[in-house]
């Protein structure tokens, strides 16, 4: 059985034999909600590649201490995948973030597309972004990820076009595209992939033209039309299955 993971701000300089104390909300949830007990083996991760394994040596209401038995540094997974996710309505944004995190994306970029029903402004924008970050954090722990994803601030179409221009390979999912996703040539395993997912109402012709002009390839997934909250997940899974990360070979 895979050991449970807890996230800590930093693990720099930690070695076997050291004691690491976790406090705050992370510890409160572990001790009070999950009922962490002395003697239990767990892992701690800093979200930047370092994972330590150890045994809980002490607990309090808002703190626990781990006696470190092993330290492992994981290289950042390659290729790196960024998903630009147009804002879905309701709770579908958190659903998209949760599953994208579970399958291993490195960055999630919320996007205010022209036809996005949801609107992030003012205090709502701050709270919505915080919910996406919290969702990514919890999903990364559940998936036992050594590298946790970033949730970037809300992007405009200009921002997305700039991300497309900087990526080695960028695709924009579009139901009217003529090229299937599986025909796309992938970069070497150290390349960067970017997937742009439109809103429930679809992308405008202007958005598609802008992103293709910036260097993206418009692709379709298949005959079915997926929801925005699942289209990105399906696309990333299809791409990763062709890379060494998931046992395939980039082509």
Alpha carbon distances (Å) from 222 to 179, 219, 227: 10, 9, 13
Phi-psi group of 222: left, alpha or beta (phi > 0 → left; psi -120 to 50 → alpha; rest → beta): left
Q: Hey, how many other C-beta atoms are within 10 angstroms of the C-beta on 224? A: 9
pLDDT in tens, 210-237: 999 999 999 998 888 889 999 999 999 9
Angle at which helix 92-103 crosses helix 228-240, to 10 degrees, equals 10
Q: Domain coordinates of the chain in residue numbers?
A: 5-73, 80-246
Per-residue DSSP letters for 183-245? GPPP--TTSEEEEEE--TT---HHHHHHHHHTT-EEEE--SS---HHHHHHHHHHHHHTTSGG
One CATH from 1.20.120.1770, 3.40.1280.10, 3.30.450.20, 3.40.1190.20 for 80-246:
3.40.1280.10
Q: Hey, how many other C-beta atoms are within 10 angstroms of the C-beta on 243? A: 22
pLDDT in tens, 11-58: 999 999 999 999 998 999 889 888 999 999 999 999 999 999 999 999
The model carries a pTM of 0.92
Topology annotation, domain 5-73: Ribosomal Protein L25; Chain P (2.40.240)
């Amino acid at each position: 059985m895979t050991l449970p993971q807890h996230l800590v701000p930093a693990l720099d300089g930690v070695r076997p034999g050291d004691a690491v104390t976790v406090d705050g909300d992370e510890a409160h949830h572990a001790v009070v909600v999950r009922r962490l007990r002395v003697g239990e083996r767990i892992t701690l991760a800093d979200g930047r590649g370092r994972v330590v394994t150890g045994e809980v040596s002490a607990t309090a209401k808002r703190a626990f201490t781990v006696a470190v038995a092993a330290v492992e540094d994981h290289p950042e997974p390659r290729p790196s995948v960024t998903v630009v996710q147009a804002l879905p309505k309701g709770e579908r944004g958190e659903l998209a973030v949760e599953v994208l995190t579970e399958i291993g994306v490195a960055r999630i970029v919320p996007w205010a597309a022209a036809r996005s029903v949801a609107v992030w402004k003012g205090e709502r924008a701050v709270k919505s972004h915080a919910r996406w970050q919290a969702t990514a954090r919890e999903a990364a722990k559940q998936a036992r990820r050594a590298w946790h994803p970033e949730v970037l601030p809300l992007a405009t179409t200009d921002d997305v076009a700039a991300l497309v221009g900087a990526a080695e390979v960028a695709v924009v999912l579009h139901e009217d595209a003529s090229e299937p996703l599986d025909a796309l040539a992938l970069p070497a395993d150290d390349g960067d992939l970017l997937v742009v997912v439109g809103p429930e109402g679809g992308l405008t012709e202007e958005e598609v033209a802008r992103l293709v002009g910036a260097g993206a390839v418009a692709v379709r997934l298949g005959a079915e039309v997926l929801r925005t909250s699942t289209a990105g997940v399906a696309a990333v899974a299809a791409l990763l299955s062709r890379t060494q990360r998931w046992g395939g070979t980039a082509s």
